[in-house]
Amino acid sequence: MTGSTTTSVDASLAAGAAGAVAIPGLFMHRLVVHVDARGLLAEFFRSSWGMPAISQWTAMTLGERVLRGPSVHVRHLDAVIVLSGAMHIGFRDLRESSPVFRRPYRLTLSGGEPTLVLIPPGVMHTFYAATGPVLVVVGSTHEYVPEDDIRCRWQDAAMDIDMAAIGAEDERAQSLDEVIAALRTRL
């Protein structure tokens, strides 16, 4: 990983911290894993955790050096869990009222230490698998509609992700400044 302006929140995960991190509204919840001779069991969603209702669940895999995103959502919150492998998530808070507006952050999630991460609307995020394969589950508070998904060119996002990553070109992707302008009119 390159860059010196990124704030890593990996240390808070390693210390077993749960709760809010530097980006307002971004929340982490360490999952409890029960292991026995049959395998393992982990609950990854309980309404008693105070989470909003999830309307859609999606599973995806990422191969080695594969990048998905970046994108930012106007309406829905994402709940992200890595079930196997390890994945970096790059973040930038694009809400202009945020005290960490445009600052990049990086978080590493691992299936070996499952953690639920809640990403609020207005926070751009990208998934990157340095090694693969990675199995990820993403829950959303609203069903997917393209109008709620603003995509940024991964080369413009400056998310402190390895630029040798394999990222697909997306004709809907915009520059970072265009994404911020579009978000400004829709949030």
pLDDT surpasses 70 at 186:
yes
The pLDDT, as a whole number, for residue 8 is 39
pLDDT surpasses 80 at 18:
no
57: which 2 tokens? 């669940």
Burial (0-12, 13-18, 19+ Cβ within 10 Å), 99: exposed
Q: Which residue has the higher pLDDT, 2 or 183?
A: 183
The pLDDT, as a whole number, for residue 54 is 93
Model confidence at 120, pLDDT cuts 50, 70, 90, reads very high
The pLDDT, as a whole number, for residue 159 is 62
The pLDDT, as a whole number, for residue 166 is 63
Q: What span, in angstroms and rounded, lies between the C-alpha atoms of 184 and 94?
A: 9
Over residues 44-100, the pLDDT tens digits come to 888 888 888 899 999 999 998 888 889 999 999 999 999 999 999 999 999 999 999
pLDDT surpasses 80 at 29:
yes
Over residues 138-177, the pLDDT tens digits come to 999 999 998 899 998 877 766 656 656 666 666 778 888 8
The pLDDT, as a whole number, for residue 2 is 33
Q: Give me the mean pLDDT over the 99-105 stretch.
A: 92
The pLDDT, as a whole number, for residue 1 is 31
Q: What domains can be seen in the chain, in order of their start residue? A: 7-44+51-186 (2.60.120.10)
